[in-house]
Amino acid sequence: MPRAEAKERNRRALLDAAFQVVSRDGYRARLEEIAERAEVTTGAIYSLFGSKNGLVVALVADYLRPYYEEIEQAVPAGLDLLEAVDAFARFYRRSCDVPDALSGLSLQITLLDMALHDPELGSQLATSIRAQESHLIALFTGRSHNGSVVTSQQAQRLTTALRALFVGLGQGVPLGLAPGADEQYFAYVARALASGMSLVEHDEDAS
């Protein structure tokens, strides 16, 4: 096997193994078990990712990248802001029902626990997640809303608010804590949140 191909094979195997082990064990995850599952040595982890934290950060980026690519497909150009938010909300709700939704929720909660135990890792994870969310900010920027065009700063505020809203709702769905929270409900609350953007801007300008 060519060296580059072998390197990519090992990288992929380690990310897949890390997803399983980290989702289950969190900050207690052992590099030895991850390497064993991937059929490589622990040295390969340091060679490819630099450290255990480097592996975890790469795992998050690897997990989120296809997710944001799917969002871009689900929210086409040409929609105004509220239509785009509606489409995003419906996509997010559907993602709560996919076969690996519980695994994703487990990873989400585990990563939060890891960040609380390791502030340095928490900072690295925050940087990685913000980098991925830049795709969502770009997706909302430039869309029409209330007779004007959404700025990058407005899109950033909206993305932060939508993330907070959907993380809470998204955790409630598989746990049975959000009865009746179907696609229509997700779209409704997301539209209500986005509709207040102009008011936020007005209040800031007045101050």
CA dihedral 6, 58, 69, 84 (to 10 degrees): 180
pLDDT-derived band of residue 175, with 50, 70 and 90 as boundaries? confident
pLDDT in tens, 148-173: 999 999 999 999 999 999 999 998 88
pLDDT-derived band of residue 183, with 50, 70 and 90 as boundaries? very high
Confidence at residue 50, expressed as pLDDT on a 0 to 100 scale: 96
pLDDT at 203 over 50: no
pLDDT in tens, 120-138: 999 999 999 898 899 999 9
SS3 148: strand
pLDDT-derived band of residue 198, with 50, 70 and 90 as boundaries? low
**Mean pLDDT for the chain?**
90
Confidence at residue 174, expressed as pLDDT on a 0 to 100 scale: 80
Query: Residue range 24-47: average pLDDT?
Result: 95
Confidence at residue 103, expressed as pLDDT on a 0 to 100 scale: 83
Instruction: Give the residue, 179 or 31, on which the prediction is more confident.
Output: 31
Confidence at residue 206, expressed as pLDDT on a 0 to 100 scale: 43
CA nearest neighbour of 43 among 14, 12, 19: 14
In the block, which residue shows the tokens 């609380």? Answer: 116
* Residues contacting residue 98 through CB under 8 Å, at least 6 positions apart: none
pTM of this prediction? Answer: 0.84
pLDDT in tens, 93-126: 999 998 888 888 888 889 999 999 999 999 999 9
Confidence at residue 205, expressed as pLDDT on a 0 to 100 scale: 47
pLDDT at 201 over 60: no
pLDDT-derived band of residue 7, with 50, 70 and 90 as boundaries? very high
Q: Which two tokens stand for residue 189?
A: 């609350």
Q: Check: CB of residue 173 under 8 Å from CB of residue 94.
A: no
